[in-house]
Amino acid sequence: MRMDEIQVQATTGRGGVRILKLQGSLTLNSTFDFQSAARRETTGAIIVDLSGVPYMDSAGLGAILGVLASCERTRRRFAIAGAPERLQTLFRVARVDTLLPAFASVEEAETRLSAGAGA
């Protein structure tokens, strides 16, 4: 896989939560694949698993925030999970760490999102 490629695997977790597992760098050159996959998810909560993303640029961050905004508009729950320290630093520097519901693992995010599904 090249630096500008990303693989997106969509699965269904507990309580119908949709999980988008990303593998590779999320950059200007790879955001289209991620955005396309995210747009296909039109119902239910979404977890973006970032555990396989070693690097993200500002375009990648914008794509994540775009999915968050879409979920907010359609009253769906959203979370990110497993972000490596490098991405957590990016979120803090960009001052979006307080906007992004972040969990250490997909399992933790799943528990939180599926528990609030009826709310």
CATH of the domain at 72: 3.30.750.24
What pLDDT, on a 0 to 100 scale, did the predictor assign at position 5?
Answer: 80
Domain count along the chain: 1
- Strand residue runs (E) in 25-112: 46-52, 78-81, 102-103
- Residue 81 placed within a domain: yes
Q: Is residue 91 part of a domain?
A: yes
- Is the pLDDT confidence value at 4 over 70? no
Q: What is the pLDDT of residue 118?
A: 46
Tokens standing for residue 50: 């970032």
Averaged pLDDT score across all residues of the chain? 91
* pLDDT for the residue 1: 54
Instruction: Pick 119 or 40 by higher pLDDT.
Output: 40
**pTM for this prediction:** 0.92
Residue 17 within any structural domain of the chain: yes
At 42 the pLDDT is 83
pLDDT at 70: 93
* Within-domain flag for 1: no
For the segment 20-58, what is each residue's pLDDT rounded down to a tens digit?
A: 999 999 999 999 999 999 999 888 899 999 999 999 999
Residue type, 99: L
How confident is the model over 65-85, as a mean pLDDT?
95
Query: pLDDT at position 73, please?
Result: 93
The DSSP output letter for 19 is E
Range of the domain at 57: 6-115
The answer to the question of residue 98 being in a domain is yes
In this prediction, residues 53-82 reach a mean pLDDT of 95
